[in-house]
Chains A and B, each alone.
Chain A
């Protein structure tokens, strides 16, 4: 009676799907099997299902078989059911109409006697992700949360989060969060309890219970954490790290309870625990340092145990800690030596750590080790090692031995080693000019023909120019380089050559004059814009006054004391706050690589984000207001909605009215340069417009440039436009330019009954408010302003205390040089408040 099935053995292996025609074939087979009651029908179905799923895995679209799959799903075979659920879960979202077909059998399975089936069905039901089927979900979920089986309750708890994800309101309407809370507090099964707490979306939604939840979590984790699975432990510890107990005893209690977690074999648990420890002790410097000492050994053990991937992640965190407190790791330097089997991404981290922890006591060993790597067959690592030696030299006081080592590299006679070393020697000389004699002697022997890499060549040329009085051959080497101008393809090298010849000319004019002429001629006819411009600039400068030219090209140089760090300390702090996250691996704070919506609800929040910002939706304002109601300690909260409305409309108005502004009042403030010089008669006596551009060309770092004009009185753009997102980003990225306290007039302090009055006052001074908050006597404002005619913004955080009539002002500026002027302007505006 069973229809004969075309042999499933037709396809050789179930996991090797052949193609598109297969889908039609599978469809047919499923249809034939649908009603089959043959004793081996289930086995045949399993075979066909397997092939369907194998096609699905390979990326073949098998959604055409949806109907047939559902028809075949009426079975008591669990394996078949699971495959069917898997299929349905993948395809439901793209075929909402067909998904309706499955609701029936899933709902029926949700009432099955077997808890496993109930759980499976409930999970699949919640995973459909079809918004218009939500109504069928609520009832089974509510029942599931009260199921006698812990397995089903757990699935229901996760299911509630899924529901919240697709339809928050129906989740809340069904009062599921309340049921979850009950589970969280009282469920005998730790896993269930955990998954109820872990619904961070829901927990956050109930913002009134937000802090309560975290607090509870800590209580739970203190007595129950060991019952949780290791994964749950990680997530609970992550929650616990957001919680700061009020008194130190509590901190120590938590730390003592969690102490043994540091001995866990699972690195994720250890790192989560370390995060808790580090955050708890932030304000206690000595304990914080003890924590570092304590966590060192477990971290090093984790680096050694486990797969290379696991140790990489631990090593990244170790790297972060080493960079923060290199002193504490200085005796462990041998642990950071590169091993033969280390992949290059690990070696790079280790080299950076070795560089950071080098101090008086271990420099010799570390540099010796690094020199070994310099001859490494792995060229990128060899390069990094040489750079590391140079960096160590730059951070040490006694560089005697290191300079010798560096100079030895030059004798190795390998292209890349020489190039890297030259760059380092150049930097070294900028910091320690006293070494010039030793270095010059060696560098002078290097033939520029042997150096291919532009960076190395440029460094050599720089030294030739800078020390041409000490290097006997300098003019002639430069001359030969100029002769080969055409063969030099790197504009960087050509630029350096121009400058070096100029420098040399002023030091040894008779020997260089020829070369200078040739260089300028070559430069002027160069196709590269920068090279051409610089040559032209030098040419005109020489024409104008050779004495000025000498001051421009050969100013007395001061040794560089500190080379700028590539990362601001603020960014480093942000990364540290995001300990045990991807930020540490990428060495970037999360805002640089994740969208806002994905940063996670428990993202470290700086105070700015607690403020309502103009563009936020009213929905969020409400939740933020709840924050305020429930947490009076929070200094900052929202200004009222009305204000945001006006701020927003102001913003848009200024955008739309932009054209009329051009002929409006802003014309006054946007003066042309000539007008500026009229206003500032004390300024430099530039004779023509072209001098201005020359000055620009010089750009950076010519301290001897004819006395810089006194900063023209700063004028602000009357209608600057800055959206809150950009503000927040800028605030995170920029370094603090100025921070000071200033005072308000007593009248002003008295009249500051609400933030609006000050906001309006500042607006009349062209300083706009982007966010504000607070209650008497403390107010907090974020202001911004824009330099007229420029794109540079000034950002201000201003905390006003009306009782003391004082204000704390922090200014960040795109253009740091103007911060001072802006600060004066801001202060005068602030002190005028209430006087008019």
Chain B
């Protein structure tokens, strides 16, 4: 039993909760709950009217049951009844139930909205607040539609109580975040800014959150808030710790409000007005000064509140990035925190310093803390703190300390938590590449990575090392020697075999002079690993072998022997078998010249953004790799999606049927002399000395536009084909609809829900509703496989003039769809004027590396905007006559393709959208319908008549509308349905 029961205790509720707590097992609990549910149901259904108290008690019990995690499917009506009770707690429980168990039943929503309306108009502040809390808690679009226009009025009304203003501000914020289009901007916005001056601190606290959100969306309209915010902040910061009474928290004046004001200022660049700026800088300095003062209390709440303001101040200083003095002071302050005994402060200092490291003013200051940070990486006991330390090391890395940082990170990798290994690997790989002064160090580092954490070295990392070695001839010999040595280890990671196989295949000749690494030795070393490797690696090794035949004719007989072995030629894996067969034939049929041409050394890879960097960005989300992108932040934000654009299937999925030997007929593109392209440029640039090192990174012109495309060295196509990136399919240029698109769309002419498309990979379901000229469509994309879809991008395209006829607003969906998962996309549709062609839906994604694309017709046809119209026979005939111009009528006589069933026909016509008019046509077999097509620009009245002829199994369909193309179009659409 509870110790305290304030207000009114509900004894029955307390007893019930006790019962549940005393249940010994889950089964017992469920049994007790079911008993209670049955009891409540019978009370609600009983003929005896329940008094308010009982209703409240039962609704509260239902709520408790729901919050325990059980489904509740009744009681909504009783809760809604409580809303209109004049007893406060009954109303309050009603609202609580409604906001926790949001229901989409439209009748209920109407009743709820009514109750809220009444309370908002009641002028009783407690009731108004309850209603506002409910709107804010539900925050749905429906709530927005009903109230978004009223709340601004309440917010700025002179006679609103403070508490009402506070609730109204945050309620409006919630609605604005959910559906900004519903909140009308207007005269109130100017007045809302002045709430920053309000005498009531609570009102200011609530209003700042709303203003910040509005500023983010329309910075220019709210500029006036800067000076108001600065003066408010200044007053708080300079006030004595007791001035603000109850708004002082553990001797810190108004910490929440201060933090919010500092956040608001981060929506803008530094103030232009010198006086305002001066005052602000003074504030920031005061905060930094206060941090040095001895604490006024030993309580952690005091230091937390104080430091919350300090960290927000530092964020603002970093955001401005223009005051070197403040930046360095901030950095020193954070440096103190790096060794603080509070773990929380160390964590935040590491995090905050990460952003400081990217400022040119404070980068050097951050670097002075390198030893402390390395120490943190080694000694922190909390993995999330170690993670921050690794991030900071990554951010503070530059040429001067790269070797130290990379070696520390490599050392950390040996004991790092599994969860973050892959990320550390990526970071090491990026730093090693970016700051490589000599490329032997780079090659060593990557091979070390593979040795220490081979399992976490993703494809991108080892692809990248191959790209770089291929493009830099000064490191090729060293790379060949090093991988050869690495492969000598008795147990080496499969990734090492891949890198070794590829490099020796390309550059093994560079070390062949040494008898210790003569061609036969190289071959037998590689082949000793062959049987332990996966299919993909073995395939790569087979390609290495054919390259060996070209490089070292003396190995030809041995290798042909290997290729000829039954285990290769009759391998169960089709890829291996094909390679063995084709390489064997190539080596025996082709002349040395042809062989040398076909197996020419790989030309340099075109320079583009490091595939590893793209991968890290994908892993961490936008902004995460920004420290590396110095000066290119804007460009890189576009790139995150670009980096995973589908690549043409020829590169990533070699078709098993492609006949490689066919290439003999035409010289393979790769055989062409390497163009003086990016690769050569790279060599030229790097010969200019260390200053040119950034040249290794992407060149600005192409890097951010071009797509990521791993060289895929294991693929035979890539070996022989042009490694240059194939044409980007481009996002605008979508394919033509699949052949069955029309048929699929026609299924939806008379219905709104169903499965639009399905194949072995993907199912697309549709649910839609239309009202007047508006519609909402939900598309459900189901991944039918067990593999994640990547780069999943559905787009809606308006061919031709459709843009001006139909507005379709789509929400983005996640780029990944897990195996077996379903994602939903919402489309808001507005019919602007009559239209004939449907919009196209293009769906692209990558499945197991292979790009898939699909274009369908979206089932949005003009009849969806039908509004049925009832009319008497007389009216019908009169209008029919009015539409008697020949071009207003469209008629079609056609054979029935489905059984002629009157009920089915009726349902179809109703689904089509028109009203069915009885007793109009003298022949009862015939169907007559009427409706109005609603578009934003105009309305089109439509009359239709369908005459079945059962004997001939034929129909005659006649449409008359006020617009000629509409008549014909409707006639065609409808005729396909019978």
**A and B assemble together:** no
**Which residues of B pack against A, CB within 8 Å?**
none
**Using a CB–CB distance below 8 Å, which chain A residues touch chain B?**
none
